[in-house]
Amino acid sequence: MELFFLGTGSGVPSKERNVSSLVLRMLEERGTTWVFDCGEGTQQQILNTTIRPRRIEAIFITHLHGDHIYGLPGLLSSRSFQGGESPVTVYGPRGLKEYIDISLRLSGTHLRYPLYVEEVEEGLLFEDKQFIVEAVRLEHGLESFGYLLKEKDQLGELLPSRLQELGIQPGPLYQQIKSRPETELEDGRIIRREDVTGPPKKGRKVAVLGDTRCLPELADTLKGFDVLVHEATFASDQEEMAYNYFHSTVKQAASLAKEAGVKELILNHISSRYQGKAVQQLLAEARDIFPNTTISKDFYQHYIPRNHGGG
């Protein structure tokens, strides 16, 4: 599981940062890619990576400001020409379906794959055997959401030494034992899976928040998350401006991460007013409060290791 930042700026593109787009690659987990926001130039950024649009399974739009959606019709269209045939579901606020429908219709675009658009409300978006995805409402000029990704716990590793102690030699029976809660052997013995596997592998939790004012009340919701991606449009001394423009400061994002007890904070949506040494100053401000902080930049890749053991 890896976060790949394609655009980390706010408002308009700059020489150093493109506008918002973030990819979560889960090639090992499910062979697919999820995209969060799709600002202008997203597919151009993709050309400089090993990301394959045909692997895109879901796109999550946080809100409908242009710097988060102007690249979406182009990416959907290009995916057809790049061999994409599997379905794509796009999640986002009310109005997203109209925007996509009009863009594709007026441009005469015909997709070669099924496209589904789900306009979201706060709460559960979907659940499958691997993940639970929820939307949480934020506070911005337009309706804005954050997305909470919760990987389900996985079975622990099968313990061959324990099986061999029971007189069970390696073979197809091992897979059968792992796939069932209980397995009856030919001699009538019952082998319980929990007795011959290691501790479960704890699922990872990732929160990707869209543009928002600081919301300290989210701390309880975010408790125990492995990674929090939070906007930091303004420096710590610009709280009034951040509030007026429905954004957050570096200090506010770091304080939320500390209060929630997340493992890692990645700051995103950086204003073009901050470049070079100014960005390092932002990072220093955040680390004074929450040491395990990173400021994203375009093409930054962040690996999220699997949690081992229970608890």
Same domain, yes or no: 105 and 223? yes
The domain tally of the chain equals 2
Note whether residue 311 is domain-resident: no
Per the annotation, the verdict on 195 as an active-site residue is no
Same domain, residue pair 10 and 144: yes
* Residue of 37, 67, 187, 237 marked catalytic: 67
Q: Is 65 annotated as a binding residue?
A: yes
Residue 92's domain is classified under what CATH number?
Answer: 3.60.15.10
Is residue 101 included in any domain, yes or no? yes
Domain housing 190: 171-199
Does 288 show up as a binding residue in the annotation? no
Does residue 128 have a known ligand-binding role?
no
Does residue 57 share a domain with residue 187? no
Statement to judge: residues 76 and 191 lie in one domain = no
75 in the same domain as 38: yes
Does the pLDDT value for residue 194 go beyond 70?
yes
Say what the pTM is: 0.91
Q: Rounded mean pLDDT of 106-117?
A: 97
DSSP string, the chain: -EEEEEE-BSSS--SS--SSEEEEEETTTTSEEEEEEE-TTHHHHHTTSS--GGGEEEEE-----HHHHTTHHHHHHHHHHTT--S-EEEEESTTHHHHHHHHHHHTT---SS-EEEEE--SEEEEE-SSEEEEEEE--SSS--EEEEEEEPPBPPPB-HHHHHHTT--SSHHHHHHHHSSEEE-TTS-EEEGGGSB---BPPPEEEEE-S----GGGHHHHTT-SEEEEE--B-TT-HHHHHHTT--BHHHHHHHHHHHT-SEEEEE-B-TT--THHHHHHHHHHHHH-SSEEE--TT-EEE-PPP-S--
Read off the pLDDT of residues 259-301 as tens digits, 9 standing for 90 and up.
999 999 999 999 999 999 999 999 999 999 999 999 999 999 9
Same domain, 242 and 137: yes
pLDDT band at 155 (very low <50, low <70, confident <90, very high): confident
Same domain, 39 and 177: no
* 189, 63: one domain: no
230 is an annotated ligand-binding site residue = no
Q: Give the pLDDT band (50/70/90) at residue 83.
A: confident
